Amino acid sequence: MSSSHNLHWRLSRFYFFYYFFVGSFVPYWGIYLQSENFSPSSIGILLSLFQISRIVAPNFWGWLADHSGHRVKWIKLTSFLGLIGFIGVFWAKGFFWIFLVMSALSLFTSSTLPLAESLTLAHLATTDGHYSRIRLWGSIGFIVASLFLGYLIDLQGINILLWGLLITQAIIFFLSNTIPEAKEIHHKKNDLSIWKIIKTPSVVALLIGCTLMVSAHGVLYNFYSIYLKEHGYSSAMIGWLWAVGVICEIFIFMLMPKILRRYSLKTILLISLFLGVIRFILIGASPDHFYLLLIAQMFHAATFGSFHAASIEVIAYFFKGRNQSRGQAIYNSVAYGIGGTIGGLGGGYLIQYLGGQLGFMIAAISPLIGFIVIWYGLKLKIKGNKVFG
């Protein structure tokens, strides 16, 4: 096996198991909390801890990575502390103790991915690989987890989820010890102030647009499974609906190199936002129509897949060299931290007081506003992956 293929394999399997954890947690943790008799607003608060942590924690770890010139050792540390933090859930009962355990878990787990993203992009800068071809293994991990856990929960009960998450966290920590460090390449943008880059109008527009898109997905990630459960869907069927979205996401990741050669990053972002509006309207309007929900889940290819891949590429263009880890951390903190918090907390109260159908339809307003912001605010002179060589 060549060194480049070996590197691809190590990064891909890390993504697989990281998103295996996500594919276990996102569809079913809300159901677990509901089984512990928490209200929608309380569930919204607890699940939003991960998004709130993303506002601060990734920036701290990103700063350490950029200033130390090392990323791998911080990936190891955050994955280890995430494992230790999760163990407490086996003894945590009641809102206060669950709040403490999830706070500890989220502080570290939310930081592992942006560090891994910047490491992956740093490796790819010196190879002929594509981010999307490595990231798609994360999507495969999500699918396997959501389907496997769906059937397992139907057979064994929701508490089996705790053991699945613990084992996955242990594997993530083990694999973090197999990832090689990347060499830093000097760029002219190394010497730019991080704040000068952030204040660039196009960066501001991108971050606002991403925040709005993710805020709608915050409602989805926290309450979609509960919403389906209340409309009579089994855990296995819920797993399949999540899996369909991510299967379509895989196809878009496989096609992204060709898409990037043909369309500008701005065009990809705008189409993704437009389809986001349609997706959330469909979810809210048709909970009892399986095939319409299926179509809405297929739009995940755009509302997450192409949108995230294009956003990552734009961030990589503006934040280079020693700013790269912090650039990815800022993107995660603003888009997924602030956006996810707004969607998670706001969605909890929307669904508790207005119901799931109206809550999801209101969520469609966010990508609509994001479309307008990106249309007028994002200026890119060069199309597609030509920007990034």
Per residue in 260-303, pLDDT (tens digit) is 888 889 999 999 999 999 999 999 999 999 999 999 999 999 99
Classify 3-388 by CATH class.
Answer: mainly alpha
pLDDT by residue (tens digit) across 322-375? 676 677 778 878 888 889 889 888 888 888 888 889 999 999 999 999 999 999
Q: What percent of the chain has pLDDT over 90?
A: 31
- The pLDDT score that the predictor gives to residue 388 is 37
Per the listing, tokens 């509302």 go with 303
3-state DSSP call for residue 379?
coil
Closest alpha carbon to 189 in 320, 24, 25, 14: 320
Q: How do the domains of the chain map onto residue ranges? A: 3-388
pLDDT at residue 149 greater than cutoff 60: yes
pTM of the model: 0.76
pLDDT at residue 389 greater than cutoff 50: no
CA 270 → CA 58, 109, 283, distances in Å? Answer: 27, 30, 20
DSSP 331-347: HIIIIIIIIHHHHHHHH
Stretch 61-79: mean pLDDT: 74
Whether 335 contacts 214, CB under 8 Å: yes
Stretch 315-320: mean pLDDT: 78
Q: Between 208 and 77, whose confidence is greater? A: 208
Q: What is the mean pLDDT of the chain?
A: 84
- The pLDDT score that the predictor gives to residue 381 is 65
125 — pLDDT class (breaks 50, 70, 90): low
Quickly list H helices, the chain. 3-35, 40-68, 72-87, 94-124, 131-156, 160-176, 194-198, 201-230, 235-262, 265-285, 290-298, 300, 307-318, 324-331, 340-354, 356-363, 365-377
Residue 352 one-letter amino acid: Q
Task: Return d(Cα 154, Cα 32) in angstroms, integer.
Answer: 13
Whether 102 contacts 46, CB under 8 Å: yes
126 — pLDDT class (breaks 50, 70, 90): low
- The pLDDT score that the predictor gives to residue 382 is 55
CA 105 → CA 53, 90, 101, 331, distances in Å? Answer: 10, 13, 6, 20
